[in-house]
Amino acid sequence: MHPLARLDGATKDLDPPLAIVDLDAFDHNAADLVRRAGGKPVRVASKSVRVRALLEDVLARPGYAGVMCYSLAEALWLSSADVSEDLLVAYPTVDFGALRALARDEVALRRVTVVVDSPAHLELIEAAMGAGHPEVRVCLELDVSWRPVPGLHVGPRRSPVRTERDARALAGRIADRPGFRLVGVMAYEGQIAGLGDAPPGRPVRGAVLRWVQRRSAAELVERRGAAVAAVRRVADLEFVNGGGTGSLEGTGADPSVTELAAGSGLIGPTLFDGYRAFRPRPAVLFALPVVRRPGRGVATLFAGGYVASGPSSPDRRPTPHLPAGLRLLPLEGAGEVQTPVAGRAADALRLGDRVWLRHAKAGEPAERFSHYHLVRGDAVVRTVPTYRGEGKSFG
């Protein structure tokens, strides 16, 4: 059956806008991430999923262990729902209310690990929890951006902890401070994991990215290994986390790394179309209805302004997927209340027909839709709430 007919048929009794998860694609992607991880466990990045039922699904599969959360409040909620007993909050928190809730929750204190990259984070946690607070599990974040020459920074701007000396010094400060236990190191190489090395239609950019990524990876293996070894002389580490969907093979080969992180590879958004080594299948799609036919070669869809976070560039816009042969208009794009699409396929569209689109990022559609309809073959087998559908918003 043609993919358009299959999706339209499966959701014929549902009114768009709506979003679906193609479970056949999701299953393929989940298995491929485990294959690419080469035997190291994959921690699921929740920000790329934002659906409790899908997190539970993935964690029940061999090869997956633990959740990489993006908010302490989220981790507390997932703990209360028994989604996982291993919840790493991968971004520092300054949420006093969530920290106080953590201090009162004996179960969450065993399950949740928070990231720190400076003594100031420890001081803030103490200020929130009060003197004599219960022991908090912490993970030291190492900066693994590439800095080939002074003043040039390639990669996310995250931790100030960069060198072996920096890591050893912070590990010592954590070890010496009552109420904290250092259990992990995190080192996310976003300049490798998060940038496709073969961007469509941009061969020169792709060649430059591959050059940068090769050199960054070579420098990183030595520096990360030395930093981790220095921290291990101070603390008995439970895990060293690294990588992302785009770098599983390379990061998995680093002997200092004990586990990998991935989430976007489960979903297959358009920003992950630009990699040479792998290609996830589109698993999350959303459908918008045709509400106008303003002229030949153009159809106007309802809503659709679901633009991804990050730099303001065309690759952050949603992409028409089915029927094939449609494109956004450059001067209007995807709008708050309407999204015109153009192309030969537009002339065959009638009022009420659906156009299926893909988002640029994996988890952000869940901030727009309260439910995902899970499609297997040509039928909806289950409908599940997103975080939004469960009344949760974590930033």
- Beta carbons within 10 angstroms of residue 107's beta carbon: 12
Per-residue pLDDT reduced to its tens digit, 58-78: 999 999 999 999 999 999 999
**Mean pLDDT confidence for 11-17:** 98
**Burial of 181 from C-beta contacts in 10 A (0-12 / 13-18 / 19+):** middle
CB 65 within 8 Å of CB 41? yes
Q: In whole angstroms, what separates CA 77 from the centre of its chain?
A: 18
Q: Which of 130-134, 189-193, 265-269 bottoms out in mean pLDDT, i.e. has the lowest?
A: 189-193
**Mean pLDDT confidence for 249-269:** 94
Q: In whole angstroms, what separates CA 167 from the centre of its chain?
A: 26
Phi, psi of 127, deg, nearest 5: -65, -35
For residue 327, the cross-strand partners are 342
**Mean pLDDT confidence for 229-257:** 93
Confidence class of residue 144 from pLDDT cuts 50, 70 and 90? confident
CB 352 within 8 Å of CB 316? no
What per-residue confidence (pLDDT) applies to 195?
63
Q: In whole angstroms, what separates CA 160 from the centre of its chain?
A: 22
Nearest residue to 178 (alpha-carbon basis) of 108, 124, 122: 122
What per-residue confidence (pLDDT) applies to 162?
85
What per-residue confidence (pLDDT) applies to 285?
98
Q: Evaluate if residue 193 carries a pLDDT over 60.
A: no
For residue 139, the cross-strand partners are 115, 184
What per-residue confidence (pLDDT) applies to 157?
79
- Percent of the chain whose pLDDT exceeds 70: 93
Exposure string (b/e) for 352-372, b if CB count within 10 Å is 16 or more?
ebbbbbbbbbbbbbbebbebb
Q: What residue has token string 């997103």? A: 386
> Which comes out higher in pLDDT, residue 212 or 272?
272
Q: Could you give the CA distance from residue 160 to residue 15 in angstroms, rounded to a whole number?
A: 49
What per-residue confidence (pLDDT) applies to 153?
67
**Mean pLDDT confidence for 107-136:** 97
> Which comes out higher in pLDDT, residue 311 or 303?
303
Confidence class of residue 310 from pLDDT cuts 50, 70 and 90? confident
**Mean pLDDT confidence for 43-52:** 98
Average pLDDT, the chain: 92
CB 299 within 8 Å of CB 341? yes
**Mean pLDDT confidence for 254-269:** 96
> Which comes out higher in pLDDT, residue 332 or 158?
332
Per-residue pLDDT reduced to its tens digit, 280-293: 999 999 999 999 99
Q: Is the dihedral of CA 15, 366, 373, 384 positive or negative?
A: negative
Per-residue pLDDT reduced to its tens digit, 335-372: 999 999 999 999 999 999 999 999 999 999 999 999 99
